[in-house]
Every structure is written in structure tokens, then in C-alpha cells.
Chains A and B, each alone.
Chain A
């Protein structure tokens, strides 16, 4: 089967064309050498099937972002049978700049001229034939959106010759220099010598790594600024070319994009509008009180709950609905109208609960052993369904972010916020992965690829987990709910919100610290296209979500499946491999491991001071390293067994945790304020520590070589310090001054060091280790 690579600028309709070509056959793989998503699919519309590889959207083949390096290496090393270069006809000049570089490679090229309908709408004329004559490769006009011209494009692509010699548009400009450089590369026996030769003249950092290349370049250029000459020549050629291909009609009028921009990037309203947009994204995903119809505070609530209406009743701490219709209605409304994200979650959970209880009943009736029912019901189904239950909210959040991204609004946000982010040594572009972190760290980490600066990317990747993801939300709500229920103090919403805020503050502090110490460097440049606004394509959005769902379900049925079985087994087996019923869990292997680790967490408040049951916290935190959903899953499972809590809990596990809190309070005699501080420290620790398996794997792939182990250390250090601060300050307020002094001295040391006043690196290093790290 022939393989074609799809190359083109960002925002030129490449994804739409890829989806139109491959449809349901698309799947995600990895690029050779790097674990970066590589989308592939099969075109089945022609005589023979053709494999299509979607290259990242790029402006040039210079190694500016990792995406450009990936594309360049793929074409050079993997030698596809041809390149389909998609070009946005409304933005011909800049799009053709990439084409002129692709043409220099020894690979067959076909050009797909996209959005021709738009060009005609603007009253311009563009001739594909004229362009084809000039460039010497096939040019086919298409409309990826309307599925026009795609068959013809692929017919001509299939008919491309097997090989092509690279050509350059720089003829007559630098003939002699290119010839000399070409001869140099021909000797070294690389593929596409012409491409390498021109790149060398462009002072390309990858080409300069070739043996003898820097000397050669010095000789050829003789001090002349060839980089500017080449870029200029490319554009000059394109302009000259355009003259015959494009007939521009009249003066352009203010486009729709301009009008939208006048509002969304308004001098005063831009930031408030953005905050409102962001608020609604989160409101639609997480709110259990849509549009605040039920009032802004508890006191203002007026909507009756289903129990108030007599449609449901509380039996043994659980809510029982009068009939299935009411239960179904409770998905949408119970005491308040829910947001779409919550409704979808409730609906899925209702469905999963019925499966789970059905299976357990079936097993009990069938006379299955107690351990088997426990393993299947609590261990396997409980664990997997707890994870799957988050899917609707993660998808909803993802959908909103995809809409913001695809419509072109995210680029404006980067534009608006850049000034603020620069203060922390980042660019406005870094905002996107951070805000995506609230949904899930995995796509957020992948999104850092749009950052061109390596240090900025590293810093961003490291703080992404602090933007508490969807899977950490249950830890927040459950423990906060448990605190409120057990002690009757505070407000769960306020605790949850403050924890989000704490994550953001931690991220800012860490970025500042890193950018001034280990990741010191110039603020990265911010040179970015602001694409025209357009309606997001429904099909693209859905395919996007489908990819995400597949990924998530796969995770649930592999990593989490395995880990829930292991946790269940270790918590129900003693060291001599005997099955232990729930009430004897104290003797399990898991308990011993937890007890062994318990003292480690003493400075954070959830260690030895919690007495004989405190190991639950240690175990929950550790299982969270696999998937954050596990923290509450483990916690709830263990809490039920320990606290001998009689009733049936809600799925959020609040009651179980409250029960556990009471047991520990009575057992260890820890004071209430200290315990509250410890519980909040526990939330903070889980929020800022090493993220889940999947996020770690992604971060490892996206981080520069050798940085991952430091990143792990960084996460441990940060979470430990944050947890310790919360616990000590919460328990003994005056310790605040000790922390402030410590923070101030670290700051002073860093500043002195950076000003060059303090030059004794040894002292600096020791102090840095004492204070915060990396």
C-alpha cells in the first residue's frame, strides 16, 4: 500500500481534509523515536487503498518547534511515496512558502488548493492550472469542507511518479552557492541533498551538526547574510508566481473576523469577556445548580428536592426513588437543575450502578464465594466504573476547549494574556495547556508542543498537574465533604474552590522559581498567526471526542483494571496468603506497607499521629500514582471496611470518609483543628504530587531528554512542602512566620545570585535544597 503524508500550515483545513480522506479508519500511533501522537488512516475511495499520515501543522521546515522537526524527519527518513501539500487559497503567499521548501526534497508532491470557494466568494480569481505550470507539480482545487475535488486529488496522487528530484525556486539567485553546498552533501551520501544544501545556507542548526558543515558554510557565505536572501527570494518568487495565478478583485472590506475581533479583543472588555466564557465552560461542565436558578447560596435555595416532593425517601442513608421514572428524572434534577456535564455523568453512573448491583445480586443468588463477589463487585467493577464515571465531564470540558480552539478564540486569548504571562517568564501561548490541565493533564501535556521554547515547555509541563484535573475533583469534593460532615464546620464549595486557587498559586510560584533558577532563560518569543474565526466543524469535533473516548476507555480497562485488582487483593490477603474479610483488613499486606510508609507523612499531618488506622491515607496517596481516581476509590473501599459504616454510601464517598474521620478521631485523640489541617494537607498533597500514570508517560515523552527524573523529584518536593506548610500553619499558626522567613530567604538568595552579587555557588546549592527545589 502506498503511503502519503499530509503537510500544510496550521488552520488551512488539514484536519478536515484528513477526516474526509480517512473517515473512521483514522487511528493514533507514535512517530518513530518520539511518543508524540501520529494520526494515520486509510483512504478507500480509489482503485487501491492509500495510507494517509497526518503531519503536524507547520509554517516552515526550519527546526523552530518540535512539530517542524517531526515533519522534517518523517519526510526525510521514512520516505513516504508522496506528499499531499494542502494550501489555503485565501492565504496563498504564506502557504506557498512551505511548498517551496517541500519541493526541495526528493519526494513526489501534489498540491491540494483548499478553500477555493472562499476565494471566489471574496471576488478573487485563482487558476490551479497556472499554478501547476509554474510549480511543476500537480495542483488540484478542492473544498475539504464540502468534500469537493477530493476524488480527483487522490486519483492524481495515485498517478504520481514513483520518484521526483528536488527543485528549488532559488534559481538565478544563489546558483553557485547552492551547487557548492549540494556537492558537499552529495559526498556524504544523504537523501535530498538539495534540501540539506539550501537549509545549510539558511544557517539551519540541524544541518550545522553535519561533520565539516560549519566550515563549509563559512566558506560559501563569505560573511553574506544568506538567510535573509533566501527567505526574500522565496517570497519574491511566490509574489511573481501569484501575479499570473491570482487576480485580486477590488479593495477588501472589513471581514467578519474583524467585527468579532473588535469585541473579543476589545481594549477593556477582552479580559472580562474571557473570564465569563471560562466561567460558563466550567459551569456547564461541573455545576449542580445550572444558571444559579436555585439561588447563589444555600439560604436562597427554593427548589424542592425529590424527597420534599414525596417522590423519594431516605432509607438507611441512601436515597430510594419511588419508581424508575423518578430515578431517571433525578439525573436532571434533584433539588436543583444540573448542568449538561453533571446530567451526562449522572446518567452514565445510573446505568453503571444498575449493571454493578445486577452482577453482584446475580453472583450472590448463584452462591458465589464471598471473596469472589467482593473482588468482582467492589474490586473490579467498583474501580473501573468509578473511572468511567468521569468520562462525561472530561468529554464535556474537552468539547468546550475544542470549540474555543477550533473557532480561533484560543489564539486571541493568548494574544490578550501574553502581557500577564510574560511577567512569569512564559508566553501567552502557555496559557492554553495550563487551562486544559483543569480537564485532563494528558491532552494538556500534548498541547505544550505548540510552545517553541524548550525551557518554557519544561516549566509548563511541570506545573500542569497543579491545575487540578477532572480526576482529582472527586478527591476534593469527597474529602472536603467529609470534613464538613464530620466536624460540621466550613463549606465544601469554599474548600474546593480554595484548593483550585492553591493549585494555581503553587504553579505561579514554581514557574517563577524555575525561570529564575534551573530553567533560566530569555522570555520566549511570541510570534503567532491569528487565524480567521470560523465555525468549528461538527465532524471534526466529534472525531476529536471519539479519539479521546477511545483513549480513556482503554486506560480504564488496562491500567486501572489491573491496579484495582491488585489493590483489592493486597488489602484482602494476609502475608500467609489467606483471604481476609473486610473487618480484618488491619492484617493485610497493604496495611503493613501503609503502616511502614505512614511516618513519612507525619510532617504533613496524615502520618503516625493518626494512629493505627492512619495507614489508609498513605495507601490512598500511593494508589493515586496509578490513577487519581484510585485515591477516592481506595479510600472509600478501605473506609467502609474500617469504620464499619453500616449504611450504603453515596457514590462520592463523602459519608464513608466522614465515618472514617470519626473513627480516627476517637482512636488517635488528635485535636479537631489539627485533623482538619491534616485532611486539607492530604488534598493538597494529592493535587500537587506526581500525577497519574498516563500523565507521567505523556510528560516523559514531551519533556527534553533527562528532565523527567528531575520532574518527578520536583513534584514530590512541591507536594511535600505544600502539604507541610498547610498542616503546620493550620495546626500552629505561628509556624507561618517560619515559612515566610524560609521563603523570603530563598527569594533573596535567588535574587542575589541572579544579580551576580552572591557568587558562592556552593552555599547557594545547599540553601536551595533546604528551601524549595527546581
Chain B
């Protein structure tokens, strides 16, 4: 099942299928290891529900829901 990373609930894992979004954000996501094929898990959400924290490529990355909406993920 495909889902946007921004719609993930805590504990869900998946494999990235596509990274969309505007130039600079996309570039940064790539540089931080958010590339198609990478696996990630949603670890937690900030106290106010946003931003979110994911485990990807063995480390913890935090990003906002608006940025997470650029990431399409296949649930596993």
C-alpha cells in the first residue's frame, strides 16, 4: 500500500518510492539520505504533532509534515 510519509502513524515502516517537491527541499532530502529505495520508520511526533522523527539509514532525521508530504512510501 502506498502512502505519503506525512500520513504515517507512529511505528509504521516503508520503502521510499518517490521524492517530489521543490528544488532546494528535494536536494536536501536527497543529501540526508531520503532517496527512492531507502527504508524508513516513523519514530515519533513532536509534542504539537509536527515535525516528525524518522529512522532512516541508521540515524534519526526530523522533518516537517509539509516536507514529509513530498515523500511517497510503500508500506512494509
A residues neighboring B (CB under 8 Å): 59-60, 62, 64, 90-94, 97, 202-203, 227-228, 231-232, 235-236, 257, 261, 265-268, 270-271, 411, 415-416, 418-420, 422, 428, 452, 525-532
The answer to whether B58 and A94 have CB atoms under 8 Å apart is yes
Closest CB-CB distance, B53 to chain A, in whole Å? Answer: 6
**A525 — which chain B residues lie within 8 A by C-beta?**
24-25, 28, 63-64, 67
Q: Which of B24, B50, B60 contacts A529 (CB 8 A)?
A: B60
Complex formed: what's the CA distance from A531 to B48 in Å? Answer: 21
User: A-side binding surface: helix, strand, loop or mixed?
Assistant: helix
The answer to whether A527 and B48 have CB atoms under 8 Å apart is no
Complex formed: what's the CA distance from A59 to B26 in Å? Answer: 14
Q: Which of B47, B57, B61 contacts A528 (CB 8 A)?
A: B61
Q: List 21 A-B contacts (CB under 8 A).
A: A59-B31, A62-B31, A64-B24, A64-B31, A93-B33, A97-B33, A203-B27, A227-B30, A228-B30, A231-B35, A232-B37, A235-B35, A415-B53, A416-B47, A419-B47, A422-B64, A525-B25, A527-B29, A527-B32, A527-B63, A530-B53
**In chain B, residues 2-55, which have Cβ atoms closer than 8 Å to a Cβ of chain A?**
19, 23-33, 35-38, 44-51, 53
Residue with the highest number of chain B CB atoms closer than 10 Å, among A92, A270, A419, A531? A419
The answer to whether A93 and B48 have CB atoms under 8 Å apart is no
Nearest residue, chain A, Cβ from B59 = A91
Complex formed: what's the CA distance from A235 to B33 in Å? Answer: 8
Q: Which of B27, B47, B59 contacts A266 (CB 8 A)?
A: B47
The answer to whether A415 and B57 have CB atoms under 8 Å apart is no
- In the complex where A526-B67, A529-B60 touch, is A64 in contact with B50 (Cβ < 8 A)? no
Complex formed: what's the CA distance from A527 to B40 in Å? Answer: 15
Residue with the highest number of chain A CB atoms closer than 10 Å, among B19, B32, B49, B67? B32
Closest CB-CB distance, B49 to chain A, in whole Å? Answer: 7
Nearest residue, chain A, Cβ from B22 = A522
Q: Count how many pairs of residues, one from A and one from B, have CB atoms less than 8 Å apart in the complex.
A: 117
**A227 — which chain B residues lie within 8 A by C-beta?**
26-27, 30
Q: Which of B32, B33, B38, B51 contacts A418 (CB 8 A)?
A: B51
The answer to whether A92 and B46 have CB atoms under 8 Å apart is no
Closest CB-CB distance, B31 to chain A, in whole Å? Answer: 4
Closest CB-CB distance, A423 to chain B, in whole Å? Answer: 11
**B35 — which chain A residues lie within 8 A by C-beta?**
228, 231-232, 235
The answer to whether A265 and B32 have CB atoms under 8 Å apart is no
Complex formed: what's the CA distance from A428 to B26 in Å? Answer: 20
Complex formed: what's the CA distance from A411 to B51 in Å? Answer: 12
**A452 — which chain B residues lie within 8 A by C-beta?**
24, 28
Closest CB-CB distance, B58 to chain A, in whole Å? Answer: 6
**B25 — which chain A residues lie within 8 A by C-beta?**
525, 527
**B27 — which chain A residues lie within 8 A by C-beta?**
62, 64, 202-203, 227
Q: Which of B24, B36, B48 contacts A228 (CB 8 A)?
A: B36
Closest CB-CB distance, B40 to chain A, in whole Å? Answer: 12
Nearest residue, chain A, Cβ from B50 = A419
Complex formed: what's the CA distance from A232 to B27 in Å? Answer: 12
* Besides the known contacts A93-B33, A231-B35, 15 further A-B residue pairs in the complex with CB atoms under 8 A apart: A59-B32, A62-B27, A64-B24, A90-B58, A91-B59, A94-B58, A227-B30, A235-B38, A267-B47, A270-B46, A415-B51, A428-B51, A525-B25, A526-B62, A527-B67
Complex formed: what's the CA distance from A527 to B44 in Å? Answer: 15
**B62 — which chain A residues lie within 8 A by C-beta?**
411, 415, 526-530
Nearest residue, chain B, Cβ from A205 = B23
**A529 — which chain B residues lie within 8 A by C-beta?**
32, 59-62
Size range of the interface on B? 20 to 34
Complex formed: what's the CA distance from A532 to B61 in Å? Answer: 11
**B24 — which chain A residues lie within 8 A by C-beta?**
64, 452, 525
Residue with the highest number of chain B CB atoms closer than 10 Å, among A97, A202, A236? A97
The answer to whether B32 and A268 have CB atoms under 8 Å apart is no
Complex formed: what's the CA distance from A217 to B49 in Å? Answer: 41
Complex formed: what's the CA distance from A203 to B45 in Å? Answer: 33
Complex formed: what's the CA distance from A188 to B63 in Å? Answer: 39
The answer to whether B46 and A94 have CB atoms under 8 Å apart is no
Complex formed: what's the CA distance from A530 to B51 in Å? Answer: 12
**B57 — which chain A residues lie within 8 A by C-beta?**
91, 93-94, 235
Complex formed: what's the CA distance from A420 to B60 in Å? Answer: 22
The answer to whether A418 and B50 have CB atoms under 8 Å apart is yes
The answer to whether B59 and A419 have CB atoms under 8 Å apart is no
Lowest 10 CB-CB distances: which A-B pairs, in order?
Answer: A231-B30, A60-B31, A419-B48, A530-B60, A93-B57, A270-B47, A527-B63, A231-B35, A525-B25, A94-B33
Nearest residue, chain B, Cβ from A203 = B23
Q: Which of A59, A90, A416 contacts B46 (CB 8 A)?
A: A416
Complex formed: what's the CA distance from A428 to B47 in Å? Answer: 13
Complex formed: what's the CA distance from A635 to B36 in Å? Answer: 64
Closest CB-CB distance, A568 to chain B, in whole Å? Answer: 53
Q: Which of A60, A202, A261, A526 contacts B51 (CB 8 A)?
A: A526
Complex formed: what's the CA distance from A271 to B63 in Å? Answer: 19
Complex formed: what's the CA distance from A415 to B48 in Å? Answer: 10
The answer to whether A419 and B37 have CB atoms under 8 Å apart is no
Closest CB-CB distance, A272 to chain B, in whole Å? Answer: 10
Nearest residue, chain B, Cβ from A274 = B47
Complex formed: what's the CA distance from A270 to B59 in Å? Answer: 21
The answer to whether A231 and B31 have CB atoms under 8 Å apart is yes
The answer to whether B59 and A265 have CB atoms under 8 Å apart is no
**A235 — which chain B residues lie within 8 A by C-beta?**
33, 35, 37-38, 57
Nearest residue, chain B, Cβ from A411 = B62
Complex formed: what's the CA distance from A525 to B63 in Å? Answer: 8
Complex formed: what's the CA distance from A415 to B50 in Å? Answer: 8
**A93 — which chain B residues lie within 8 A by C-beta?**
33, 57-58
The answer to whether A228 and B32 have CB atoms under 8 Å apart is no
Q: Which of A64, A94, A203, A261 contacts B28 (CB 8 A)?
A: A64
Nearest residue, chain A, Cβ from B54 = A530
Closest CB-CB distance, B72 to chain A, in whole Å? Answer: 12
Closest CB-CB distance, B5 to chain A, in whole Å? Answer: 12
**B30 — which chain A residues lie within 8 A by C-beta?**
227-228, 231
Complex formed: what's the CA distance from A419 to B52 in Å? Answer: 11
The answer to whether A97 and B48 have CB atoms under 8 Å apart is no
**A228 — which chain B residues lie within 8 A by C-beta?**
19, 30, 35-36
Closest CB-CB distance, A701 to chain B, in whole Å? Answer: 24
Closest CB-CB distance, B1 to chain A, in whole Å? Answer: 23
The answer to whether A265 and B47 have CB atoms under 8 Å apart is yes
Closest CB-CB distance, B51 to chain A, in whole Å? Answer: 5
Q: Which of B47, B58, B60, B61 contacts A527 (CB 8 A)?
A: B61
Closest CB-CB distance, B71 to chain A, in whole Å? Answer: 11
**A415 — which chain B residues lie within 8 A by C-beta?**
46, 51, 53, 62
The answer to whether B58 and A91 have CB atoms under 8 Å apart is yes
The answer to whether A265 and B58 have CB atoms under 8 Å apart is no
Complex formed: what's the CA distance from A270 to B48 in Å? Answer: 10
Closest CB-CB distance, A26 to chain B, in whole Å? Answer: 28
**B26 — which chain A residues lie within 8 A by C-beta?**
227
The answer to whether B67 and A418 have CB atoms under 8 Å apart is no
**A418 — which chain B residues lie within 8 A by C-beta?**
46, 50-51, 64
The answer to whether B64 and A268 have CB atoms under 8 Å apart is no
Closest CB-CB distance, A77 to chain B, in whole Å? Answer: 22
**A268 — which chain B residues lie within 8 A by C-beta?**
47
**A422 — which chain B residues lie within 8 A by C-beta?**
64
